């Protein structure tokens, strides 16, 4: 069992948990995720690690209620526990292994859309703790859905909040803020964008025009988290990849977003999953690399 030390509602249908997980907190790095089970009978849910504290042996997870399993998870309170947490899984963000001297000369822009603020935060925090430069844009539909603003403001060199309806911060999409910052003379050597698929697609379209290399996290399409379900299959630079085992981060300018979004929608139905398995054959699944898909 993994004890919940803090349970907090951040916004409508969005909940934060600080969980005692010694082995995970000891090894995890920004960009990685865990698989969580609320109880013995619940399904396995992949969640990006929002934060971690090696001394306190805790990891922080943020959950958005989108179905029955996440709804049950959101009902847990401080003092209760998750049945299981497996991780860390996935590949850590590339900048973790980048040459420090080279990284110190870069100006990186982090772009978070909605729940994407949770996985963006540990990356911006890592930059701050290591003395590197990072600006951050946090976008949400309305003011009520802006999360972790205080935490982000403490680690970002400059934080820009924007809402689709203009109820808080700047008015408009995150892409408009990127365009405005560049027009104001801001120069960025790299961008990291995490959020809804459609947001990441248009951020990448813009940054490609601006000549800013961009990394995206494809965690929104993960289901099983081990490469065995075939949910997170995508095409990157013409090659088949699986977000949970090959990522979740990829070069955003090489991701086929249109294919990924269409495929994700098909995967939600039993008929769609059967069609994808038949069409994709041995490449429908990843993970072990030799499971033979649904054969």
Q: For position 36, which CATH number holds? A: 2.40.30.10
The verdict on 176 and 149 lying in the same domain is yes
151 and 112 in a single domain? The answer is yes
Q: Compute the radius of gyration of the chain from its Cα atoms.
A: 19
State the pLDDT at residue 231.
73
Last residue of a domain, one of 193, 217, 241: 217
Looking at 37, 62, 89, the residue that finishes a domain is 89
Q: What is the pLDDT of residues 188-197, one digit of tens each?
A: 999 999 999 9
Domain range enclosing 102: 98-217
Question: In this predicted structure, what is the pLDDT of residue 232?
Answer: 77
Evaluate the CA torsion angle 269, 40, 52, 90 in order and state its sign. negative
Do both 47 and 118 map to the same domain?
Answer: no
- 254 and 146 part of one domain: no
**In 3-state terms, the chain is what percent helix, strand and coil (to 5)?**
35, 30, 35
pLDDT at 191: 95
pTM of the model: 0.86
217 near 248, Cβ under 8 Å? yes
The reply to whether 6 and 70 lie within a common domain is: yes
Residue 190: the pLDDT is 95
Q: Are residues 194 and 292 in the same domain?
A: no
The pLDDT score that the predictor gives to residue 266 is 63
- Residue 203 is part of a domain; what is its CATH number? 3.40.50.80
Both 14 and 102 in one domain: the answer is no
Please give the pLDDT value at position 295: 39
What pLDDT score was predicted for residue 19? 93
Q: ∠ at Cα 272 (236, 216), nearest 5°?
A: 25
Q: What is the pLDDT of residue 286?
A: 62
The answer for residues whose C-beta is within 8 angstroms of residue 232's C-beta and 6 or more apart is 218, 221, 222, 223, 242, 243, 244, 247, 248, 286
Give yes or no: residues 205 and 225 share one domain: no
The pLDDT of residue 111 is 96
Pull the structure tokens for residue 75: 């009902």
> Looking at the structure, do residues 213 and 225 belong to the same domain, yes or no?
no
The Cα–Cα gap between 31 and 260 comes to 20
Of the residues 89, 124, 156, the one at which a domain ends = 89
For residues 248 and 290, state if they share a domain. Answer: yes
Stretches where the chain sits below pLDDT 70 are 224-230, 266-282, 284-295
Co-location of 282 and 193 in the same domain: no
Two structure tokens written together for 268: 């939600």
Give yes or no: residues 171 and 246 share one domain. no
Domain count, the chain: 3
User: Encoding tokens for residue 78?
Assistant: 């401080």
């Amino acid at each position: 069992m993994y004890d919940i030390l803090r349970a907090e509602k951040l916004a409508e249908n969005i909940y934060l948990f600080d969980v005692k997980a010694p082995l995970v907190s000891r090894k995890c790095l920004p960009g990685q995720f865990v698989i969580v089970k609320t109880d013995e009978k619940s399904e396995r849910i992949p969640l990006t690690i929002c934060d971690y504290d090696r001394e306190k042996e805790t990891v922080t997870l943020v959950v958005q209620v989108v179905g029955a399993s996440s709804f049950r998870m959101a009902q847990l309170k401080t003092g209760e526990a998750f049945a299981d947490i497996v991780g860390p899984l996935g590949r850590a963000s590339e900048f973790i292994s980048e040459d420090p001297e080279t990284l110190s000369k870069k100006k990186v822009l982090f772009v978070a859309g909605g729940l994407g603020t949770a996985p963006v935060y540990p990356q911006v925090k890592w930059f701050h703790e290591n003395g590197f430069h990072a600006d951050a844009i946090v976008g949400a539909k309305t003011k009520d859905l802006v999360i972790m603003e205080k935490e982000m403001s403490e680690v970002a060199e400059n934080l820009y909040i924007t809402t689709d309806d203009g109820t808080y911060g700047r008015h408009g999409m995150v892409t408009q803020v990127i365009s405005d910052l560049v027009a104001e003379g801001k120069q960025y050597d790299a961008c990291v964008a995490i959020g809804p698929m459609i947001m990441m697609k248009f951020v990448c379209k813009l940054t490609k025009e601006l000549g800013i290399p961009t990394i995206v996290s494809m965690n929104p399409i993960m289901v099983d988290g081990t490469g065995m379900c075939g949910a997170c299959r995508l095409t990157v630079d013409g090659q088949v990849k699986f977000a949970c085992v090959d990522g979740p981060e990829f070069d955003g300018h090489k991701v086929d977003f249109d294919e990924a979004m269409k495929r994700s929608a098909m995967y939600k139905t039993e008929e769609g999953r059967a069609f994808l398995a038949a069409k994709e054959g041995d490449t429908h699944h990843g993970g072990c690399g030799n499971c033979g898909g649904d054969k």
